[in-house]
Amino acid sequence: MTSRLDRGGRTRSFDGGTAGARAPGRGLAMTALFIALFFAVASNTMVLTGLPQIIGDLDGTPVQYTWIVTTSLLVLAVTTPVWGRLADRYSATRLLLMSLAIYALGSIGAGSAFEPWTIVACRVLIGAGAGGIVTLVQLIVTGMTSPRERPKFFGMLGSVTSVAAILAPALGGIIVDIGGWRWVFYSTAPVALIALVMVWRFAPVISTTGTPSGRFDVSGTILIASTVTAAMIALSALAEAPLLAATAGAATAVLLLATVLVERRALSPLIPPALMRNRHLVLVLIASGVGGVAAFGTSVYLAMYFQDVRGATAGESGLLLIPLSIATLIASLTVGVIVSRTGRDKMMLALGMGAVVAGYGMLVPITPDSPLAYVVAGGAVVSLGVGAVTQQVIATGQRFLRDDELAVGSSLILFLRSLMTVLCLSGFGAVLAAMATGAGAPLPGIRIVLTACLVIGTAGFVAVLSLPAGRLRVKRGNVALTPRDEPETVV
């Protein structure tokens, strides 16, 4: 067990067992982490309701509209392994404070912008801050819990994400109606600062158990960011600008090759090649990516089906999607508790992936006349699977990591999820653009997207079944918790 000294000099326990669960500051620390995660996730969708007003007020273009949406998601994906690698060198808690400050700064800058490209630039900051928040919250929760109880808390993190998905669009719409689009950005800044103060005051200092040798992998960071950006451009331009898509595709191949060569030679690579040779971890990475794609496949494209095929309003579409978010919330909490009590995770992951496959199997044949209850039920089945998988794969992946690989390995799981989501959304958008001709045109494209999600979900199901069965440990390990008022040590 480890401890920290509070401001009054009293010792406060933060071990991962029963004592840790009763520690006076742990509940407040977890609350701060949940608040930070909520707004990091919500910021991606809160802005959607204000985009038409933003583009109208600032004389923006459709291209700027797209970049405002995708920039933060892209940067979040790219920076996830960066924050994980930084957590190998510095305290995850202190890095989280930095992430919250960056997020707040980007939000204030976006709210103050007077032309769309300034908002895009500020969304880079928001995405970088959100990437840090999402990554570091997972690591801090890992440090505050034992492997056995960790799934329960990861289930809570999953429920926070689900609640953010439910409330963010409606919350953004209310804010826009009351104060205008600028307050969609302004409103998140003070909450980020409140979370910053709470984390600084109550969260233990979390340090990983190993210190990497060599300089920070700047070359790898630049190459990975460039590769992902080029791939996203290639996929998104596929339908409307084939020459640009081909050029970006060729650049992606060259950059990917350069990334592999550089990472192999780096002393402290951003994505260690040794981890990619870990067969079990690769299976977890596939499952994590599938979970991210499955989540967006229903929330984005069923909304399109409801509005563009069935003629529902935006508000009606939002109401029809609420059962999906509730299903994710219920599954995330339930599976977290079950895995924490039994220590066995493979069966629950397999059931979750099976639900994803079954749900998309229900959705692929939908028509303009399909009963809405049936369509919502299919989406809810997918969402049950998403809730069972997306957070639990992190705890499962940690079974296959050494203590000194925990930070970078956990961030890699999140990175693959964000990366697959961004790239698949870009590819799906190209498919829909290519199929968009004539009345009722979205449906054929939506069916292709849902079929692709079914195939991807099947790959995830096979990956989970290929994992070895195991039992999560009861003993807390992997990371060190050190007193704030004493020199930081690494265990």
- pLDDT value of residue 284: 92
Shared domain for 181 and 303, answered yes or no, is no
Shared domain for 123 and 201, answered yes or no, is yes
Considering the domain boundaries, does residue 61 fall inside one? yes
Shared domain for 117 and 234, answered yes or no, is no
Token pair belonging to 308: 């563009």
CATH of the domain at 309: 1.20.1250.20
Shared domain for 151 and 290, answered yes or no, is no
Shared domain for 225 and 353, answered yes or no, is no
- pLDDT value of residue 63: 62
- pLDDT value of residue 97: 93
Shared domain for 139 and 277, answered yes or no, is no
Considering the domain boundaries, does residue 482 fall inside one? no
Considering the domain boundaries, does residue 491 fall inside one? no
Query: Which residue range forms the structural domain that includes residue 228?
Result: 218-265
Q: Considering only CA atoms, which of 226, 235, 233 is closest in space to residue 270?
A: 226
Distance CA 335, CA 378 (A): 20
Beta-bridge partner residues of 480: 207
Considering the domain boundaries, does residue 123 fall inside one? yes
- pLDDT value of residue 171: 78
- pLDDT value of residue 457: 93
Distance CA 368, CA 271 (A): 45
Q: How many domains does the chain have?
A: 3
Shared domain for 134 and 83, answered yes or no, is yes
> Which 3 state secondary structure label does DSSP give 305?
helix
pTM for the model stands at 0.75
CA distances from 366 to 23, 197, 354 (A): 51, 49, 20
Shared domain for 168 and 258, answered yes or no, is no
- pLDDT value of residue 454: 95
Token pair belonging to 89: 């060198």
Cα dihedral 217, 223, 228, 233 sign: positive
Considering the domain boundaries, does residue 484 fall inside one? no
- pLDDT value of residue 88: 77
Distance CA 93, CA 178 (A): 35
Residue that terminates a domain, selected from 210, 229, 256 = 210
Shared domain for 171 and 242, answered yes or no, is no
- Taking the chain (491 residues) in runs of 10, the rounded mean pLDDT of each run is 37 38 66 87 75 79 71 83 82 91 93 90 92 88 79 80 73 79 88 89 69 69 87 79 88 92 82 85 91 82 82 75 86 85 84 95 93 94 91 84 78 84 81 66 85 94 88 48 35 27
Considering the domain boundaries, does residue 490 fall inside one? no
Shared domain for 446 and 313, answered yes or no, is yes
Considering the domain boundaries, does residue 16 fall inside one? yes
Q: Provide DSSP, 349-396.
A: HHHHHHHHHHHHHHHTT--TTS-HHHHHHHHHHHHHHHHHHTTHHHHH
Q: Considering only CA atoms, which of 377, 98, 66 is closest in space to residue 235?
A: 66
CA distances from 484 to 26, 94, 194 (A): 15, 10, 19
Q: Considering only CA atoms, which of 157, 32, 2, 17 is closest in space to residue 93?
A: 32
Shared domain for 255 and 307, answered yes or no, is no
Query: Which run of H or of E encompasses 65?
Result: helix 62-87
